[in-house]
Chain A
Amino acid sequence: EAGVAQSPRYKIIEKRQSVAFWCNPISGHATLYWYQQILGQGPKLLIQFQNNGVVDDSQLPKDRFSAERLKGVDSTLKIQPAKLEDSAVYLCASTPNEGSYEQYFGPGTRLTVT
């Protein structure tokens, strides 16, 4: 079974630029999560999708972050414009449904904003 795929693995941008991350969850998984992990901290949930609908985006900085999951499969997370404090690893995870106890994580995208 293929795992959660993410790209790119690394990205370096200057502040005020835009960036987009892509996630392909495990086939058949209805629930998809985006997390932000700042160095030295645990992952923090940004947004949760159930199929193509948003379940929880309460911690998403909506003035600069956006995410979509068209057709309930792949998802993209965008930052526009980026700030220095957005430097972090962005993790995507998926589960068969929102009640599942095991989240399957991708390898993450390491973003550096200079």
Chain B
Amino acid sequence: DAKTTQPPSMDCAEGRAANLPCNHSTISGNEYVYWYRQIHSQGPQYIIHGLKNNETNEMASLIITEDRKSSTLILPHATLRDTAVYYCIVRVAFTGNQFYFGTGTSLTVIP
């Protein structure tokens, strides 16, 4: 599975949009982009995933560039409860391939 690069930390003001970037320049055609987050002292939680089209659910939006070499997770109105470590993962879908979590981005939402 391809590796990803994320900034180690970011801050965001409460109520503003949080934009978390991820670089996956070596992604292959059958690999999806997944985002998970881990709130302190909890297990990781699935957020969203996508192949090439932009995706949106009740938690977030995922924007994938046309060349698929990078993506951005958007939390439209960040709250204090969104403070967490966010992991960007690429993985071949519908297989038993494991998720490589990396070190993620530590997002702090500031009041």
User: From DSSP, what is the main secondary structure of chain B's interface residues?
Assistant: loop
Interface size in chain B (residues, C-beta < 8 A):
23
Q: A45, B46: Cβ atoms under 8 Å?
A: no
Cβ B43 vs Cβ A48 within 8 A: no
Interface-facing stretch out of A14-22, A61-69, A76-84, A91-99: A91-99
B93 lies within 8 A of A99 (CB): yes
Q: What per-residue 1/0 map shows which CB atoms of A76-114 lie under 8 Å from chain B?
A: 000000000000000101000011011111111000000
Find out whether the CB atom of A107 lies under 8 angstroms from the CB atom of B43: yes
Which residue of B44, B101, B104 contacts A44 across the interface (Cβ within 8 Å)? B101
Interface membership of chain B positions 87-103, coded 1 if the CB is closer than 8 angstroms to chain A and 0 otherwise: 10000011110111111
Chain B interfacial positions (CB closer than 8 Å to A)? 32, 34, 36, 41-46, 49, 85, 87, 93-96, 98-104
New A-B contacts (8) at CB < 8 Å, excluding given A43-B101, A103-B36: A31-B96, A33-B98, A41-B103, A42-B87, A98-B96, A101-B93, A105-B42, A105-B43
List chain A positions with a Cβ less than 8 A from chain B. 4, 31, 33, 40-45, 48, 50, 55-56, 91, 93, 98-99, 101-108
